[in-house]
A = this chain, B = another copy of it.
């Protein structure tokens, strides 16, 4: 006689991830919508990428705190992490603000974290690509392998924000980590991709989550100055765009006992002040 309880589906765990938050418009949209989305989508854990949340360039302690108050459990970042100098001491104090883990040894702050939630431990890794990117970080593939191996001693529920430019490097990272982590979701291009899927061994993947920033913009920046730059090649200041905000992200549903993803779904909302 079968034991019904044993056959019942495991209770699932939901991680909401939001892509690069751009300046004040992006912050306002996230601070307003994130608590609502947590309810609506039955989110257990929320991660946001905050690398452009301070006027498009970096993040400040104050902004990081405001995002965490709006129920972001962890904030990931990317190549813009160092844009605001005051963030450096904060990186030492606040473990829930991550910077890419593959900076050379000795960089301020941390690139990964394990948090205990009511239901399970969640590991988060912030990783940066190299192809077409300016800084020469350590090999993200060999670096992540070691970090994931250690993390899996504590939990199979692992979320990787892979902040990278080239689709080849991002798709490669998905396959590299398939079966080893719950999700690999990309950031940095500010454009969401329509390739979300659960890979064969159980890792949810999406090349890029997109951004939380002004719709009528060039990846967050005002249209005219960027167009001028492409025409003239002269130095140009790009302010953050205005108007309605598109909030883009991914919702990953997983089995917390195995860490395997069950689904990944694109999230898109438009918000206007």
Contact = CB atoms under 8 A, between A and B. Distances in A.
A194 interface: yes
Contacts of A136: 130-131, 136, 139, 233
Interface residues of A, number: 52
Interface string A72-115: 00000000001000000000000000000001111110000000
Nearest to A132: B132
A260 interface: no
Instruction: Specify how many copies of this chain sit in the oligomer.
Output: 4
Contacts of A107: 232-234
Of residues A142, A200, A221, A233, which shows the largest number of chain B Cβ atoms within 10 Å of its Cβ? A233
A231 interface: yes
A205 to B, nearest CB: 11
B193 A82 contact: no
Interface string A225-237: 0110011111100
A18 B33 CA distance: 36
A172 interface: yes
A37 to B, nearest CB: 18
Interface of A: 82, 103-108, 130-132, 135-139, 141-142, 165-169, 171-172, 175-176, 189-195, 200, 207-208, 210, 216, 218-219, 221, 223, 226-227, 230-235, 266, 268
